[in-house]
Structure 1
Amino acid sequence: MKSLQTIQLIAPSAAAHTEERLPDVVAVTSQALPEQVNALARARSFAEPLIADEVLDTGENTLAHADAVAAILRVVGGSEAMQAASYLVHACVHLNKPQEVIAKAFGANFAALAVETTQLMRVQRLSRGADTLSHQADAPAAQTENVRKMLLAFSRDLRVVMLRLASRLQTLRFCAASKTPVPPGLARESLQVFAPLANRLGIWQIKWEMEDLSFRFIEPDTYKQVARLLDEKRVEREANMEHLRASLEAELTSQGIKAVVQGRPKHIYSIVKKMRGKSLGFDQLFDIRALRVIVPSVPDCYAVLGWVHARFVPMADEFDDYIAKPKGNGYQSLHTVVQQMVDGVACLPIEIQIRTQAMHDHAEHGVAAHWAYKEAGTKGYAGVSASGEYDAKIAVLRQLLAWERDLSGAAPHSADVLSDHIYVLTPDAAVVELPAGATAVDFAYSVHTSLGHRCRGAKVDGVQVPLNTPLQNGQTVEITAAKEGGPSRDWLNT
């Protein structure tokens, strides 16, 4: 079907690039599983007798689902050990003592992952069922509780994130290909919870496809309408854009600017969001005809901008400088909309984005780009640097916390429901849930009563703070403790 052309997981031209720079969550989770000889083949052989004749709630064969999940993990850069885990998760439910059996065959690491993931799947299934029965699938409190459970499971084992994202994407793919109806709760959860999670973690290929597939089930008529509009005059439009792309790249090269000019993929859900958010008709969308220019340096970005505005006719009020003023998530780029003049007549508008390679990698791969551009002894992209796996794990955990807050803040009339807790990190990168307004003393007691008794000082994000300072979401807290002692009245005055 032609409309499916807009929701491919990853373009062939981008595959090699993805292998070079993996999102932190991929790198960290791959390192977390010990590599074993023939782990993938062994895991499949182990699971096959248990799941080969089983089907999931959607009607998909369980073994086929696990095969597809392993393939998705492979595409986004997951290790062979990570792919092997996709089979063990589904074998879990058919074992009397899954933790013991899997640990004996593959080790405690694999067993813990399989059991944790299975437990989360069960919780989510029950949650969706309760939502359906109560006809409150969109209730803020219900979604918040679901997200909270996901966050806590993910924080205990980051590998669960990858398995759940890949599994959910495959479920949507299967339903689309087999024309199987998708439960409304599952489609909404995919769009409102899972896709934002992939977005926060920088796994953009999964994000885009999951958004389009989810939207296809939630609003099938709108999806088909936009798909038809994209297909109309597609050949003519793409031929014109390719001619413009090639000529623009050649002209910039002749000006001494080393630039790569690319077309940009079109995603149906993002198109609909923009049409609704800005009350635009399809023909008014600028990014249906869009190009991206990638250059070596920031001065080159502004040089290209000046040349583009001289070469074309810039449209008033359609310029954004996200280099000088980055978006909250660190995104940087120059955005401009211009019109090409033909025989003195302004043609349809074209959106052009201009950025450096570092900015592009951040836009495409999220938190992974921070570490890819780290230089020894200096701050990397957007002033962030990391020294290894620990910093990468902290980065992923903080993105998970931001994801939870994103979803909490997005729900209307929900401040009273959602402001009753915060999540902070220990120095060992564990997530601790606390009531809103909690202090370092509360944190110490939540970790262990003994640590609370002996608490004498605290550092938050490396800075010494008074013990009665309220903690904020996402902070890293380190306690200074005496060797022995009990609660102190001084806590009230520090």
Structure 2
Amino acid sequence: MSALDPIVEKVLSRDPKARVDLIRRAYDFAVEIHGEDTRLSGRPLTVHLCEVSEILADMNMDEETIAAGLLHEAMEKVGTQVVKEKFGEEIATLADSFHRVVSIRYSSSTADHAEKFRRLLLSMARDVRVVIIKLADQLHNMRTLEFIRPEKREGYACETLDIYAPLANRLGIYRVKSELEDLGFKYTEPEVWDELVSKQEEGKREMQGYIEEVKGILSGIVDENRVDGKVYGRVKHLYSIYLKMIDQGIPFEKVYDRVAFRIICGELSECYALLGAVHARWKPVPGRFKDYVALPKKNLYQSLHTTVIGPRGIPMEVQIRTREMHAVAEEGIAAHWRYKERGSSSGKAESVFSWLRQVVEANQEVADASEFVDHVKGDLFPDVVYVFTPTGQVMELPRGATPIDFAYAIHSQVGNRCVGAKVNDRMVTLGTELKNGDRVEIVTSKNQTPSSDWLEFAKSSRAKNRIRQWIRNEQRERSIALGRDILDREFRKVSKSLSKALKEGMIEEVADRFGVNKGEEVLEAVGYGKVQARQVLEKVYPEFERVQEEAPKRKGPQKKTKQGIVIKGVGDVMVRYAKCCSPLPGEPVVGFITRGHGMTVHAANCPNLKRSDESRRIDVEWGLEDSGAHPVRLRVQGIDKATMLPNITTALAGFGVQVVSAQVKPLMPGKSEYQFALLVPDLDKLQKIIKSVRDLKAVESVIRVRS
């Protein structure tokens, strides 16, 4: 069986009179030209050409487009004239236009990226089929992305999510758009992808049972209304579920409408009749009905959408459309092109071409590729915001994005060290929403690190994932260090060496008894408090009890922790600082033993401590070697002036402290309150900061806030 046979079968099933000889000749010519040429996967290049053309056949594209898909790689070897002589001007022009677009290979260069997109859109103004071929090519490239170098995969996948999936959506080619999104998601966020796939698989059987149950009920509704229609049910594609998780800030389990149902009927009047019947059967969710039949999308997508509370109290989406609407919904502008070729294109279908061409041609004279992209994408993909770097580079961010998103879009290190931002030369907080055309400059500090507070106003998945990744790594490193310290002291009590046990693999040998695989993971579990140090010691040295009895008693009523706290008369405990009073080195402190959580250090004058069980308090003091950073909140009130925030942040920067967050709250006309979360080393530094800020003009008060 030839690689061409499935393509020919699909074309003939659509139109028995189709000119498949044209497709066969194009295939034979491609085989002759490319011979033994292979791709990175090791498979023949002609296999890729056939896969692309089969995708085009699945979209029911005409014979000329499919032939051009088979010939686009030949342009580099034989040139346009040869193809024109053998296959005619139409196919030669299509193949040449496509070749000009893909001749700019993937590059991390913003200029190359913009130029390729510019060429693609300009070719679309002449013949939309060029873009459709490119989407088919991009889809097959994404299906085989595993064969390119790992360092290039994420960039290629990002390009797919940024450009080609939205373009497929804008052209209404839903099937291609959905697969591009899922594949792009798979390679840009592989850990999240694997996690969601796993969770989806866990509930697959139950979900499939639910789908069959609802399909049965909907089929009954269709029959009761004497409609010749079909019912389909599916689980929504993972990327759409992931976007809902991000937008609503909810876990996978809380996305209840993960399934969607579709009723395909014959007549428009039947759509509304069935909608009424569905609403009569199940309660509709307010605000979730959309009539795209009366008000079609720009790509001519038409359908009735409603969300109802279905069986078992689960929200579910139901779409109702005619067969013609369904063809357009699945194939988008590809369907419009087919109708146009058959001479049955409506005025509405022509408006799609007209609108797309107007958007592109209106900006055709813009010389700079990046500027062209900026102008055109604002019309094609409106759910984004475009801002500028200080050097004039255009950055695309999701609508509602903040300086945090901008910083991480530039580079992870810029995001991690971000302390503030200037928007249009005015200092703003990190939570300020950016608008189209804003010029953004990020202020960084080597002392800054990400904060979980940033997740509240980060909008892009890139920023959120980088912040979470840093926090996870930081917590893990701290837990490992703390676990090492606790275990080391436990081992020294019985004259044993933790370093030796780690080096000789003794800790790793017992790791599986604690549900982990590596010695380092044992340290992490001890640091987290999931495993007690004594348990580890007993597993490594079964004779622990005997060794403990024989070990010489150690004198020394004081124990020093790595957090810089000296504990008097107490052995090994974990130490953490109370959030209610946020104690600082230099002020009196008291320890409070919390069952199961080690010791919490409070400021001596903390109201919560005074109400606590006195028998569980212990004497502690700050060690001389403490060099950590401790959280503090300041409340500054003063006259509302444009220079107030930059003056305060400049004063704080002068002390080299980390600003975790900054918020501005109007109090009354002419006055505002500025709240800062800082990390400072000790009380002395804090007092100097307060004095410095208090001395600023327009500042009326500076107060340290204890929650």
**Secondary structure of 2:249 counterpart:** coil
Which structure would you say has the larger Rg? Answer: 2
Equivalent position of 2:462 in the other structure: none
The share of aligned pairs that are identical, in percent, is: 33
Q: Structure 1 unaligned runs (5+)?
A: 1-14, 21-34, 132-136, 419-494
Kept in 1: contact 2:40–2:148 (CA 8 A): no
Match 2:107 to one of 122, 129, 137: 129
Equivalent position of 1:196 in the other structure: 166
Kept in 2: contact 1:201–1:400 (CA 8 A): no
Equivalent position of 2:379 in the other structure: 405
State the distance in 1 between where 2:351 and 2:299 align. Answer: 18
The 10-residue stretch of structure 1 (53-62 or 198-207) with the greater mean CA deviation from structure 2: 53-62
Amino acid at match of 2:245: M
State the distance in 1 between where 2:181 and 2:19 align. Answer: 35
Equivalent position of 1:64 in the other structure: 47
Equivalent position of 2:331 in the other structure: 365
Equivalent position of 1:304 in the other structure: 274
**Secondary structure of 1:186 counterpart:** helix
Equivalent position of 1:106 in the other structure: 87
Equivalent position of 2:314 in the other structure: 348
Amino acid at match of 1:129: S
Q: Which has the higher contact order (CA 8 A, sep 6+)?
A: 1
With over 3 angstroms needed to count, the CA separation of the structure-2 counterparts of 1:369 and 1:399, relative to structure 1, is farther
Q: How many residues align?
A: 362
With over 3 angstroms needed to count, the CA separation of the structure-2 counterparts of 1:282 and 1:295, relative to structure 1, is same
State the distance in 2 between where 1:368 and 1:164 align. Answer: 13
Equivalent position of 2:28 in the other structure: 45
Kept in 1: contact 2:157–2:187 (CA 8 A): yes
State the distance in 2 between where 1:367 and 1:159 align. Answer: 9
With over 3 angstroms needed to count, the CA separation of the structure-2 counterparts of 1:310 and 1:394, relative to structure 1, is closer
Mapping 1:60-459, distance limit 5 Å: 61-95=44-78, 98-123=79-104, 125=105, 128-131=106-109, 144-176=114-146, 181=150, 182-256=152-226, 259-297=229-267, 300-323=270-293, 327=297, 329-340=299-310, 347-367=313-333, 384-385=347-348, 394=354, 397=357, 405-407=379-381, 410-413=384-387
Amino acid at match of 1:78: M
State the distance in 2 between where 1:106 and 1:324 align. Answer: 43
How many angstroms does 1:159 deviate by?
Answer: 3.7
With over 3 angstroms needed to count, the CA separation of the structure-2 counterparts of 1:75 and 1:367, relative to structure 1, is closer
Structure with greater helix share of residues: 1
State the distance in 1 between where 2:202 and 2:24 align. Answer: 46
State the distance in 1 between where 2:276 and 2:20 align. Answer: 56
Spell out, residue by residue over 1:429-477, the C-alpha distance to the aligned partner (whole angstroms, 9 max, x if none).
xxxxxxxxxxxxxxxxxxxxxxxxxxxxxxxxxxxxxxxxxxxxxxxxx
Scaled by the length of structure 1, the TM-score of the pair is: 0.61
With over 3 angstroms needed to count, the CA separation of the structure-2 counterparts of 1:362 and 1:85, relative to structure 1, is closer
**Secondary structure of 1:183 counterpart:** helix
Kept in 2: contact 1:47–1:87 (CA 8 A): yes
**Secondary structure of 1:196 counterpart:** helix
Kept in 1: contact 2:336–2:345 (CA 8 A): no
Kept in 2: contact 1:337–1:349 (CA 8 A): yes
Amino acid at match of 1:114: A
How many angstroms does 1:263 deviate by?
Answer: 0.9
State the distance in 1 between where 2:384 and 2:82 align. Answer: 42
Amino acid at match of 2:250: L
Amino acid at match of 2:330: E
How many angstroms does 1:391 deviate by?
Answer: 7.0
Kept in 2: contact 1:297–1:356 (CA 8 A): yes
State the distance in 2 between where 1:379 and 1:63 align. Answer: 34
Kept in 2: contact 1:338–1:351 (CA 8 A): yes
Q: Structure 2 unaligned runs (5+)?
A: 1-9, 362-375, 395-707
Kept in 2: contact 1:323–1:332 (CA 8 A): yes
With over 3 angstroms needed to count, the CA separation of the structure-2 counterparts of 1:251 and 1:66, relative to structure 1, is closer
Kept in 2: contact 1:339–1:349 (CA 8 A): yes
Scaled by the length of structure 2, the TM-score of the pair is: 0.45
State the distance in 2 between where 1:313 and 1:163 align. Answer: 43
Spell out, residue by residue over 1:299-339, the C-alpha distance to the aligned partner (whole angstroms, 9 max, x if none).
54444344333323444554445456555555444433333
Equivalent position of 1:32 in the other structure: none
